Structure 1
Amino acid sequence: MNFVSTRGNVSEIGFIDTVLMGLADDGGLLIPSKIPQIPQTRLEEMAKLTYQELAYEIFSYYIEGEIPENELKELIHQSYSTFRDPEVTPVRKVKDNMYVLELFHGPTFAFKDIALQFLGNLYSYVSKRQNKIIHILGATSGDTGASAIEGVRGKEGIRICILHPHQKVSKVQELQMTTVHDKNVLNLSVKGTFDDCQRIIKELFADVDFKNKYHLRAINSINFVRILAQTVYYFYAYFQVAKQTGIKSLNFSVPTGNFGDIFAGYLAKRMGLPINKLILATNENNILERFIHDGVYMPGQFHSTYSPSMDIQVASNFERYLYYLLDENPSLVSSLMDQFKSEGKIVVSEELLQKVKDDFAAHGVMGEECLQTISKYYDESNYLLDPHTACGVAAYEKYNESSEVYVTLATAHPAKFNESIERCHIEQVFPEKINQLFNKPQYQEIVDADNNEIVRELERLFSSSH
């Protein structure tokens, strides 16, 4: 399997080089040169596999022997042995035609653990194999940071720096990142929004000399491994629900701000998984909803919401979908991304918009609707939704056709967002691991959204590697 850039200027590279490059050197995103096709007969066989066995099967299509079989199996075992549920991502029936896929049973109670436990172990594996130090740089709207730190803390040969928007993540998210006191971890609390953090990361990765000098590696979903690891739970959910219901195709409602989680579903569908509709759920920061409805991709005014992990205006994975929407034409992608940089928007034709609507539906969930959904499901089903999952459930309700079956992705444990839960006058019991965070000291540097200031902090961290 070879990988190429959405912008066409990175020649075909292998899986491990793709992991290490993160953002393509031409500023684009890396994608497989050809999406593997899984025939129906193979899908029927895969339905019998455990989560770990399924992960091995799907990863193997993309890794194609670059990691020996026994070593890949061991990496997968290490990554998912940290989860609290033996199924890793169990499916719960909440209503007659709606299931919730619980993605929060990992060490930091968020769906990001599924990809980042694996990516952390993979980086450690590559570092040892190549005898090279790895410097990880990432931005977070809350969950990626905690999951990434948990995935690599204390690991030999790895340093990690995470940028998060100052006072714009939940208290538990902040504590999960900043109570880690390891010499290989640096938390930068940036005076700005997640989009500021993400912009700085992309600009630093786009400086190829700087990136190569410091062996910078990406932990954000610009790294294709993040997407790959997330496709697994779409397959797993489909197989579990099909066993219970006998359905032949399934709809997914996906809370997403950065387009990574739902792009993983799109990739699973392109691989042959019988997904009918992908419903994109977002909040007041609804750039993606507007694109799916109108064909115009243009950031609006930033809003702080009850679902802060989706408080994002510029979705870094959107370019991957654009590549497939434009029939895998990298020069068209490049010109549209240049246009976005200069004019601040992308507009697609009516014909392309129809293709978008064939792939996706979308619903932007406003604050009150989010809280009402939490209250309603707690009262009627005795199921407590976190505010992001509530957006997904509200989107399912908007598009619900009783003859169809839906799975909503539950992206985080409600304890991570108690500020929103309290607004519903619901008192929840925190898991002990989260309770303990409140008694720990915090370690973070508060910085301006300034590339030079952040580079100085990075050089200080990286100099301690040598």
Structure 2
Amino acid sequence: MNYLSTRGDPTPRKFCEILLEGLAPDGGLYLPERYPQVDADMLARWRTLAYHELAFEILSLYIDDIPAEDLRALCAKTYTEEVFGSADITPLRELEDGVYLEGLSNGPTLAFKDMAMQLLGNLFEYELGRRGEQLNILGATSGDTGSAAEYAMKGKKGVRVFMTSPDGRMSPFQQAQMFSLQDANIHNIAIAGVFDDCQDIVKAVSNDLAFKREYRIGTVNSINWARLLAQVVYYFKGWIEATGPQGGEVSFTVPSGNFGNVCAGHVARMMGLPIRKLVVATNENDVLDEFFRTGVYRVRGAADTHETSSPSMDISKASNFERFVFDLLGRDGARTKALFQDALAREGQFDLSTDPVFADAAGRFGFRSGRSTHADRLATIRDTDERFAVLIDTHTADGLKVAREHVEPGVPMVVLETALPIKFAATIVEALGREPDRPARFDGIESLPKRVVRLPADAEQVKRYIAEHCAA
């Protein structure tokens, strides 16, 4: 399997090359040259597999430069009951008739990002060891990616992490998870700005090819194809559990800011998984909902990016959206580049509302969308607690609120849970008047010593910091 860039670079690359590279040299994102297809026999065979076995079956369709037994061992090492709290890994529960929650937040940092990041850490260590090389990972986080990456990479041989985050814009618990880590290979950089500023810095550094090569810069954000690929697995697992032996279609609702989580669902659907709808749930930062309603993709500036009670979705530049638009445009790399490199830079938006392909977003590709507000979150958290004795976090509440607007009779609707409520305790207290449960290992985490440096939203200063804190 070879990989290509969404912006037209035709150079074929293998999985392990793009694993360590992140962005393509032309600034695009990597996608496989084709989506492997699954059939009814494969799906039937996969129904009885443990999660790590299912992960191997799916990943092996995309990875042919890691020996099969090594890949199988990496999956088995990653997806264990000890790491994820249950043998089921992603337990599914039915909330009400036809509406399910798929639990993705039982890993080390209590967020769905662990599902991919734990595998990514093992893949990095394996490939770097095989090459005898080192990698300096530069990432951006709006809340959960950072802690998931740092917990997955801490102590890993050959890996350093430089994680940018918007200063003061994460919950206290999220900040404490990251900043309290004292491992020498972990560096936290709080940026004066919003998440989009952090993301812009990561892209700017990745696009400086000379610096990237000299300092061996890689990424763990969902612009890294390996991370997105790992997330494809839990769509297959959700489908297996929601449809039962009879099979049939299923829909998924995904709280989304950067379009990475739901893009994995798009990949699963393109592979032939019977997904009827992929519903994108946003908060007040509704750039994605606006596109799927109107065909206009309009990036907001920092001043217009709202600080909300579902902060991991406080994003107005959805990096992974480029992967979907590339498919929407018939994999036209030149046109994708014109939209994302030229039109966004020039006008801050692009408009596909009158283009016939826009209808395909809902028709051929199954996308729908909706928006949730702070008041909606509070109401959904209260309702779910009162009626079902189930406590959900703020982002999952956004997903559940929007999911109910798109339920169809006879089609299971699976809402992807994104984090445990303790990560957003202040909003839970506002909704219910009580603190959410806290795993014992996180008692007092907010009072631990912090290890963080604060920098302006300036890629050059971030590059200088990296150069000073790693070996070239």
User: What residue is the counterpart of 1:160 in the other structure?
Assistant: 161
Partner of residue 360 from structure 2, selected from 332, 341, 355: 355
Distance 2:345 2:446 in 1: 42
What is the distance in 2 between the residues matched to 1:346 and 1:200?
22
Letter in 2 for 1:240: E
What is the distance in 2 between the residues matched to 1:426 and 1:295?
42
Superposed displacement of residue 242, structure 1: 1.5
State the partner residue of 2:371. 364
Report the equivalent of 2:469.
461
Q: Which residue identity is paired with 1:382?
A: A
Shift in Å, 1:247: 4.8
Q: CA deviation at 1:404?
A: 2.6
CA distance in 2, matches of 1:276, 1:263: 15
- Between stretches 106-115 and 79-88, larger displacement belongs to 79-88
Counterpart in the other structure of 1:285: 285
Q: Give the corresponding residue for 1:340.
A: 344
Q: CA shift at 1:103, angstroms?
A: 0.3
Distance, in Å, in 1 between the alignment partners of 2:10 and 2:247 is 41
Identity among equivalent pairs (%): 38
Give runs of aligned pairs for residues 41-190 of structure 1, distance below 5 A: 41-64=41-64, 66-81=65-80, 82-190=83-191
> Do residues 430 (structure 1) and 438 (structure 2) align?
yes
Q: Is the 8 A contact 1:172 1:434 kept in 2?
A: no
Q: 1:10 touches 1:25 (CA, 8 Å); kept in 2?
A: no
Cα deviation for residue 68 of structure 1 reads 1.3
Structure 2: which 5+ runs fail to align? none
Determine helix, strand or coil for the equivalent of 1:462.
Answer: coil
SS in 2 for 1:135: strand
Q: Distance in 1 between matches of 2:435 and 2:321?
A: 37
Q: Which residue identity is paired with 1:324?
A: D
Contact kept, 8 Å, 2:243 with 2:412, in 1: the verdict is no
Q: 1:315-334 counterparts in 2 under 5 A? A: 315-334=318-337
- Residue pair 1:251, 1:406 contacting (<8 A) in 2 also: yes
Aligned partners of 1:115, 1:341: CA distance in 2, in Å? 31
> By how many angstroms is 1:330 displaced?
0.7
Unaligned 5+ segments in structure 1 are none
**2:306 and 2:314 in contact (8 A); partners too:** yes
Whether the 8 Å CA contact 2:296–2:351 is kept in 1: the answer is yes
**SS of equivalent to 1:38:** coil
Alignment-derived partner of residue 303 in structure 1 = 306
* Pair 1:398 & 2:401 matched: no
For 1:184-203, list aligned pairs within 5 A. Answer: 184-203=185-204
**RMSD after superposition:** 1.2
CA distance in 2: counterparts of 1:203 and 1:451, whole angstroms: 7
Quote the offset at 1:307 in angstroms: 0.2
Where 1:276 maps in the other structure, the secondary structure is: strand
In the alignment, is the contact (CA less than 8 A) between 2:116 and 2:227 conserved in 1?
yes
Contact 1:10 1:24 (8 Å CA) reproduced = no
Distance in 1 (CA, whole Å) between partners of 2:355 and 2:454 is 45
Q: Could you tell me how far 1:352 is from its partner in structure 2? A: 1.9
1:293, 1:357 within 8 Å by CA — same for their partners in 2?
Answer: no
SS for the counterpart of 1:226 is helix
Return the offset for 1:426. Answer: 3.4
Q: CA deviation at 1:401?
A: 2.8
SS of structure 2 residue aligned to 1:257? coil
Matched with 1:445 is 453
Distance 2:437 2:63 in 1: 42
Shift of 1:155: 1.3
User: Alpha-carbon deviation of 1:10?
Assistant: 4.4
TM-score by length of 1: 0.97
CA distance in 2, matches of 1:3, 1:312: 27
* Matched residue SS, 1:111: coil
CA distance in 2, matches of 1:370, 1:217: 36
Contact kept? 2:240, 2:247, Cα under 8 Å: no
Residue 427 of structure 1 and its aligned partner are, at CA, apart by 2.8
Q: How far apart, in 2, do the equivalents of 1:382 and 1:152 lie?
A: 35
Can you list the C-alpha shifts for 1:327-377, whole angstroms capped at 9, x where unaligned? 011111111121112111011134222111222110110110111101110
Which amino acid is the alignment partner of residue 326 of structure 2?
Y
Tell me the distance in 2 between the aligned counterparts of 1:271 and 1:402: 25
Deviation for aligned residue 1:436: 4.0
* 2:61 aligned counterpart, secondary structure: helix
Give the Cα separation in 2 of the matches to 1:396 and 1:163: 32
User: Matched residue of 1:237: which SS?
Assistant: helix
In structure 2, what is the Cα distance between the partners aligned to 1:418 and 1:376?
A: 17
